[in-house]
Structure 1
Amino acid sequence: MTALWLAVLLASAACFALKLAGHLLPRHRLAEPRVARTAALVTVALLAALVAVQTATDGGRIVLDARVPALAVAAVALALRAPFVVVVVLAAATAAGLRLLGMP
C-alpha cells in the first residue's frame, strides 16, 4: 500500500512540475507553429487513447460489449453534427437497448 501512495505522490509531483513548466515558458516559444501543431495532435491522441481504453477494455482485457456499438452510434451522430447532448443520449440509449436485448 505504501508503494501505491508513493507512486501517486510522485505522479502528482510530476504533473504539477509539468504544469508549472508550461507557465514558466516564454509565450513566443509556445506560439511557434510546430509547438502548437504538436500540442493539438497530442491532445487528440490522448483523447482517442482514453476513449479506446474506456470502451474496449475491462480489468486489463479486451472486451467487445454494448459500449462498442454505442461508440459507433456516437461517432455517426458527431459526423452528422448532432448537438453533444443528443450524441450522449443516442449512445446511452444504444448501450441500454443492447444490454436489454442481452448483450453484455
Structure 2
Amino acid sequence: MNIWIAIGATVVGCYLVKLAGLLVPAGTLERPRVRRTAALLPVALLAALTAQQAFADGRVLVLDAKAAGLAAAAVALLLRAPFLVVIVAAVAVTAGLRALTG
C-alpha cells in the first residue's frame, strides 16, 4: 500500500508545482533576469544529467567507454559535424572501447 501513497503524493506534488507556475504574475516573468534564468536552466539541467550519466557509477567517478564516447562527440561538435555524424562517432568510439576492454 505504501507505493500507492507515494504515487498519490507525487501526483499531488506535480499538480501543485504546475498550479504554482500558473499563479506567478505575468510581470514577474517579464523581468530580464527571470528570462535569462529560464533560458539557461534547461541547458544546465541537461548538462548535469549528461555528466552524471557519463562520469558516475553510483557515488564513484568513472572514466570509461561512455566518457570516451562523450569526448568523441564533443570533438565532432567542435569540428561542426552534422548531428548524425556526432552520434555515429560517439557510438563507434564507445562500442570500440567496450569491445577492446570487454
> Which structure has the larger Rg over C-alpha atoms?
2
TM-score w.r.t. structure 1 length?
0.77
Identity %, equivalent residues: 55
Partners of 1:12 and 1:77 lie apart in 2 by 41
Instruction: Show structure 1 runs of 4+ deviating over 6 A.
Output: none
**Aligned residue pairs, count:** 102
- Listed one character per residue, the Cα deviations across residues 33-73 of structure 1 (whole Å, up to 9, x for unaligned) are 11011112222221111011111122333222100011111
| Match status 1:44 vs 2:43 | yes
77-86 vs 30-39, which deviates more?
77-86
Structure 2 residue ranges without an equivalent (≥5) = none
Match of 1:101, SS state, is helix
* Residue in 2 that maps onto 1:18: 17
Partners of 1:80 and 1:9 lie apart in 2 by 48
The equivalences for 1:57-96 within 5 A come to: 57-96=56-95
Partners of 2:79 and 2:4 lie apart in 1 by 45
Structure 1 residue ranges without an equivalent (≥5) = none
TM-score w.r.t. structure 2 length?
0.78
Partners of 2:91 and 2:44 lie apart in 1 by 24
Partners of 1:66 and 1:33 lie apart in 2 by 41
Indicate the RMSD between aligned Cα atoms, in angstroms.
2.3
